[in-house]
Amino acid sequence: MKKGVENIMKLSIRYKLLLSFAVVLLIPSLLIGYIAFHSAKDKISENYVQNASENITFVSHMLDQIAVPKKADVEYFSSLISINDPMSETFTKFEQYHKLREDVQHVYIGTSSGDMYISPDADLEDGYDPRKRPWYQQALEANDTVITEPYVDAVTGEITVTVARPLHDHSGIIAIDFKLDEISKVINDIEIGKEGYAFILSQDQKLISHPTAEVGKEMEGDWASNLFEQDSGAFSYKEGGQSKELVFYTNDTTQWKIAGTLATNEVNSEAQPILIKTVVVIALSIIVGTFIALTIIRSITKPLQTIKEVAGNVTHGDLRETIHISSKDELGKLSVAFNTMIESLRSILFNINGQANSLTSTSEEFTANTEQASHATDQIAANVQEVTAGIENQSNNITEITNIIQQMTADIHQIAESSRHVTETATEATLAANEGTKSVQTSEEQMHYISEKMNDMKNSVQSLGTRSSEIENIIGVITHIAEETNLLALNAAIEASRAGEAGKGFAVVAQEIRKLANQSSASAEQIKHLIKNIQTEVSQAIQHTNEGTTETAKGLEIVSKTSHSFDNIEKLVESAATQIRQVSDASQHLSNGSEQIINSIEEIRSVSEHNSSNIQTVSAATEEQLASMEEIAASADNLSKMAEELQQAVYQFKFDKE
């Protein structure tokens, strides 16, 4: 069972929905068809049984209408007639009675001495003794009115029933014979279904009336014994390998059993058209339901497949596609949100790409300027070295001081001009560094925006998880309702069993309700498993979102480091510009000093010493500037590499936005 559930959980959403629709559509349809067919079958059987009950009740009433008046007549004659009365008067009364009761065969008196007086007159066998006849013995023994079992009449040879009673003076027994022709005719005319019939059994299980069997035949079998276990009822039995239903009733006057029987296959035959119609309706319902289910499933799975394909493309960096779903349901809203997310990512990446390109250009320009400043510094160092050599030769050849000083003046002018160019270059480098800082700040703001969007997406997925939990709570309520329905159905079944026969139908309905409650609980459990799977997938989505947030935070950290590097570059460039201005000022001083040297050769020595000191200062400043320029160049190179890495990361995405 567990393995089967696991296999179901591995199915796609399409097949899960198909399975759910099949369970929801097929099982209730078959159950309703089964209940409807058996309800119709039970109703037909009930109608047949009711028809049989009505017929045997009618026969019982008819038997009462025949037997009860005869019983009253016998009681009347027994109180009126005596053996001591003149027989002529008695026969006169009998003849009058015959005229009133045409169904009476004979009226007679059997005396205690063995004499027999019968009307109308009949030929009795020789030695006929009424005292040996069953009617005489039963009435004498009961000392009351009795109705005999059917027997073969000694006069007519026909099946006859006798109503007998002792005379009021106990001088004999008066009796009336009557035939059952009218009852037999009614029994023969009764039709229960197509093959069913009615019959009458005496107390000794002999046939009194039957449409086909011989009258007087003793019936044997368990079903015949069951008839005499209670006064009325119904039961099933088998006769000749055929299942039958029998309804019986005991006549209060004669204590005879009046029964009606019906073949069970007649009920099945009558219910067969209903079964066919039910099957056709169920088949049509399943076909229509299947068509509707497939339409609904397609409307769900097709948009999901589209979203899945576009999401796969986004995973591989392709942001050019969008989802086109025209429905207004949750899937349509999801597609709109997904398209919005793609558009936001596309805009963010486009901005990052532009900033990365700008940063690359700026870093290349800054590197070129740094190389130019480094070259100028090298020239300054060479000039300083030349000045140092001139000062060393000054003491050896004073006559050449003027030429050297003139050459130095020209060199100093060149240094001043170079310093001016270096100052301008440093100013441009400062501006470029400022622009780079602004670009990095813009990138940092974009990365913050990406982080906020990732957090929004994380909150949306968490909200989806919350909704799944709410659905799970609703499934719990449905399960609780199914359990309560199951309990109510069980209580109803118990109450129906207490009601006996009258509650059987209600017990069946209660049992079916209980089954439906169990099925509802099982379906709710399956939906609960589906919700748990969705929650698991939502948890995975949250995890992936957290990973995306972490990666975004890393990117934000890299951009922050880049911004910090630009700040350092800006500070270094400003320091280099300050030093270059100092070099320019020193060059100007040297120019002024050279003029004084030309005007006053006497002060050359002191000026030379002063210049030597200044040149050493310039040399140290030049070395510091050269080291600073190397550091600026290294920083610019790192910045260029970072810009290229950022571009490579952006180039992984395809968004076709100019």
Specify the amino acid at residue 151.
Answer: Y
For a pLDDT cut of 90, what percent of the chain falls above it?
4
Q: Mean pLDDT across the chain, nearest whole number?
A: 75
State the helix-helix crossing angle for 604-651 and 330-394, rounded to 10 degrees.
160
- Check pLDDT > 50 for residue 358: yes
371-376 contacts at long range (C-beta below 8 A, 24 or more positions apart)? 371/633, 372/425, 373/422, 373/425, 373/426, 373/429, 373/576, 373/625, 373/629, 374/626, 374/629, 374/630, 374/633, 376/418, 376/421, 376/422, 376/425
Give the residue carrying structure tokens 């310039």: 618
- Check pLDDT > 90 for residue 185: no
- Cβ proximity of 24 and 148 under 8 Å: no
pLDDT at residue 136 in the model: 92
Domains 44-175 and 184-269 share a fold: yes
pLDDT at residue 85 in the model: 80
CA angle 505, 510, 514 (to 5 degrees): 150
pLDDT at residue 164 in the model: 94
In this prediction, residues 390-414 reach a mean pLDDT of 63
Local structure of residue 60 (DSSP, 8 states): H
> pLDDT-based confidence at 392, cuts 50/70/90?
low
Instruction: Retrieve residue 97's tokens.
Output: 């009675």
Local structure of residue 206 (DSSP, 8 states): B
- Check pLDDT > 90 for residue 175: yes
- Cβ proximity of 29 and 21 under 8 Å: no
> pLDDT-based confidence at 477, cuts 50/70/90?
confident
The fold for domain 44-175 equals Beta-Lactamase (3.30.450)
pLDDT at residue 174 in the model: 94
> pLDDT-based confidence at 604, cuts 50/70/90?
low
In this prediction, residues 469-477 reach a mean pLDDT of 72
Its pTM stands at 0.41
Of all helices (H) and strands (E), which one includes residue 174? Answer: strand 172-178
Q: What are residue 153's phi and psi, to 5 degrees? A: -65, 135
The fold for domain 330-651 equals Helix Hairpins (1.10.287)
The Cα-based distances of 637 to 319, 339, 415 in angstroms read 32, 39, 28
CA angle 199, 202, 206 (to 5 degrees): 80
Buried b or exposed e, range 354-382, using 16+ CB within 10 angstroms = ebbebbbebbebbbebbebbbebbeebbe
Instruction: Retrieve residue 335's tokens.
Output: 């597609």
Q: Which residues is 490 bridged to in the sheet? A: none
Specify the amino acid at residue 188.
Answer: N
- Cβ proximity of 196 and 261 under 8 Å: yes
Give the residue carrying structure tokens 């000022």: 585
Pairing verdict, β 159-166 and 257-263: unpaired
pLDDT at residue 374 in the model: 67
pLDDT at residue 109 in the model: 92
Residue of 27 and 605 predicted with greater confidence: 27
pLDDT at residue 357 in the model: 74
Spell out the domain ranges in the chain. 44-175, 184-269, 330-651
CATH superfamily name and code, 184-269 = PAS domain (3.30.450.20)
- At 266-288, the pLDDT tens digits run 766 666 677 787 788 888 877 88
Strand spans (E) along 324-388: none
Most confident of 272-281, 594-603, 623-632: 272-281
Beta-carbon count within 10 A of 500 CB: 8
Instruction: Retrieve residue 648's tokens.
Output: 């490579």
